[in-house]
């Protein structure tokens, strides 16, 4: 588990040990790794202290894991070195990448992965892991999907990781590469709108650059796609929106460089928010009879349980590999690999539910 004591890594590790799967908590901080490992059953967890960017090949040779789960973002600025090293050691690889080019481009490792008989899966997270699971659930209701409008808004009190903050800051105010239905230039964290979530109210939303913008229209024939994310506290969401305009007009602001500071500032206002978050998907098109048809799907998380949602694809896929269930060898994005039923079954122990109509 690379980044095994981080925001997502620790949740995945805990879930896997609960299934009886042995995990290695890997990272650069001995103190943090051991502190987290001590919360897990001693027979199912150990630690490995190293820098994955320098020592991964040596450590894989010593530790000989069967699966590597990479949670070390931001993937927007990452290369495929970690995945390539895993392939060379015949270790299955799964990551939680949300970088558009990174996830789409993982297929360039397909021949190597096939040669070494391993599965290399990128984007095992909410997008495109969960978003594609929802589409797989409802696509049979449509003869054509004309538009998909969807997004994610976590609760202010939900735990946030630095890598996620850095990832968002890489595209705030910057042009987003064209995608289906964009109709002109689109910029990160702009085109704001309000979205109503069942039971938790309205949230501001803004443009984000994610792998789905390329992957889902191709897979499901979607005519127009729009993905957004939101911050619960309006003044904070609109503050980032203002920053996006400063970047857009050309002010030399290196937002990723200041991500840690921005995250600390954000944490200061946790007392003004809630621990409730959600994701929405609004699918519009025509049914099998050629008549207008719409599906609205929401997942609502309370009690700070939202960060468990992005972890599910990695947990489900790693469990399948550990049980010897067949996954296709090769390198590919996490699209259509998990059913919505599998996803929700993994979340049933949390204060998380779905609403669909």
Q: Which CATH class is domain 127-301?
A: alpha beta
Going from the C-alpha of 225 to that of each of 95, 209, 218, the distances in angstroms are: 24, 12, 11
Beta bridge partners of 49: 27
Residues 151-155 have a mean pLDDT of 97
Q: Is it the case that residue 164 has pLDDT exceeding 90?
A: no
- Asked if the model's pLDDT at residue 146 lies above 90, the reply is yes
> How far, in Å, CA of 209 to CA of 255, rounded?
16
pLDDT for 27 beyond 90: yes
Angle at 316 between CA 330 and CA 59, to 5 degrees: 65
pLDDT of residue 161: 82
Mean pLDDT of 311-331: 96
Q: Which residues contact 114 (CB under 8 A, 6 or more apart)?
A: 329, 330
Per-residue pLDDT band at 121 (split at 50, 70, 90): very high
Domain over 9-125+308-335 is classified CATH 3.30.9.10? no
End-to-end Cα distance, the chain: 38
In this model, does residue 281 exceed pLDDT 90? Answer: yes
The answer for 325, left when phi > 0, alpha when psi is -120 to 50, beta otherwise, is beta
Picking from 10, 9, 225, 16, the residue whose alpha carbon sits closest to that of residue 132 is 225
pLDDT above 70 covers what percent of the chain?
A: 100
123, 334 Cβ separation under 8 angstroms: yes
Distance in angstroms (rounded) separating the CA atoms of residues 352 and 310: 12
CB 272 within 8 A of CB 233: yes
Residue range 81-109, pLDDT digits in tens:
999 999 999 999 999 999 999 999 999 99
Q: Does 160 have pLDDT greater than 90?
A: no
Q: What 3 state SS string does the chain have? A: CECCCCCCHHHHHHHHHHCCCCEEEEECCHHHHHHHHCCCCHHHEEEEECCHHHHHHHHHHHHCCCEEEECCCCHHHCCCHHHHHHHHCCCEEEECCCCHHHHHHHHHHHHHHHHCCCEEEECCCHHHHHHHHHHHHHHHHCCEEEEEEEEEECCCCCCCCHHHHHHHHCCECCEECCCCCCCCCEEECCCCEEEEECCCEEEEEEECCCCHHHHHHHHHCCCEEEEEECCCCHHHHHHHHHHHHHHHCCCCCCCHHHHHHHHHHHHCCHHHCCCCEEEEEEEEEECCCCCEEEEEEEEEECCCCHHHHHHHHHHHHHHHHHCCCCCCCEEEECCCCCCHHHHHHHCCCCCEEEEEC
Which pLDDT does position 300 carry in this prediction? 98
Instruction: Determine the average pLDDT of the residues in 159-186.
Output: 92
Q: Which residues pair with residue 313 across a beta bridge? A: none
Q: Which residue, 227, 75, 242, is CA-closest to 152? A: 227
Q: Is the pLDDT of residue 76 over 90?
A: no
Whether pLDDT at 326 is above 90: no
Measured CA to CA, the distance from residue 337 to residue 104 in angstroms comes to 15
pLDDT of 313 above 90: yes
| Same fold: 9-125+308-335 with 127-301 | no
Minimum mean pLDDT among 115-119, 135-139, 157-161, 246-250: which range?
157-161
Mean pLDDT over each residue of the chain, to the nearest integer: 96
Write down the domain spans for the chain.
9-125+308-335, 127-301
Residue 356: both structure tokens together:
């669909």
d(CA 253, CA 116): 43
Confidence of residue 111 (pLDDT cuts 50, 70, 90): very high
- Count of C-beta atoms within a 10 Å radius of residue 319: 18
Say yes or no to pLDDT of 163 above 90.
no
Q: For residues 244 and 173, is the Cβ–Cβ distance under 8 A?
A: yes
pLDDT of residue 183: 85
Mean pLDDT of 321-336: 96
Q: Output the six-digit token pair for 330.
A: 């090769």
């Amino acid at each position: 588990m690379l980044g095994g004591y981080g925001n997502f890594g620790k949740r995945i590790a805990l879930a896997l040990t609960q299934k009886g799967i042995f995990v290695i908590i890997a990272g650069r901080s001995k103190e943090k790794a051991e502190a987290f490992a001590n919360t897990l059953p001693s027979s199912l967890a150990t630690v490995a202290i190293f820098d994955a960017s320098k020592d991964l090949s040596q450590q894989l040779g010593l530790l000989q894991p069967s699966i590597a789960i990479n949670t070390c973002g931001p993937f927007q600025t990452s290369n495929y070195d970690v995945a390539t090293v895993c392939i060379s050691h015949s270790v299955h690889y799964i990551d939680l990448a949300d970088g558009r080019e990174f996830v789409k481009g993982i297929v360039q490792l397909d021949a190597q992965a096939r040669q070494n008989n391993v599965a290399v899966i990128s984007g095992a997270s909410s997008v495109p892991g969960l978003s594609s699971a929802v589409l797989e659930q409802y696509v049979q209701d449509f003869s054509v999907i004309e538009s998909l409008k969807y997004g994610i808004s976590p609760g202010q009190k939900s735990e946030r990781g630095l890598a996620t903050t850095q990832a968002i800051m890489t595209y705030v105010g910057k042009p987003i590469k064209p995608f289906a239905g964009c109709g002109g230039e689109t910029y990160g964290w702009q085109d704001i709108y309000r979205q109503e979530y069942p039971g938790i109210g309205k949230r501001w939303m803004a443009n984000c650059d994610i792998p789905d913008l390329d992957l889902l229209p191709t897979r499901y024939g979607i005519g127009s796609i729009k993905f957004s994310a939101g911050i619960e506290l309006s003044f904070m969401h609109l503050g980032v929106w203002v920053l996006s305009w400063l970047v857009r007009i050309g002010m030399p602001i290196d937002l990723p460089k200041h991500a840690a500071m921005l995250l600390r500032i954000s944490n200061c206002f946790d007392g003004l928010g809630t621990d409730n978050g959600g994701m929405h998907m609004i699918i519009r098109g025509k049914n099998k009879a050629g008549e207008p048809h719409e599906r609205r799907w929401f997942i609502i998380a309370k009690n700070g349980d939202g960060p468990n949602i992005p972890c599910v694809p990695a947990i489900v896929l790693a469990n399948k590999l550990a049980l010897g269930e067949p996954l296709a060898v090769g390198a590919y994005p996490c699209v259509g690999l998990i059913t919505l039923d599998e996803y929700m079954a993994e979340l049933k122990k949390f204060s998380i539910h779905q609403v669909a109509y």
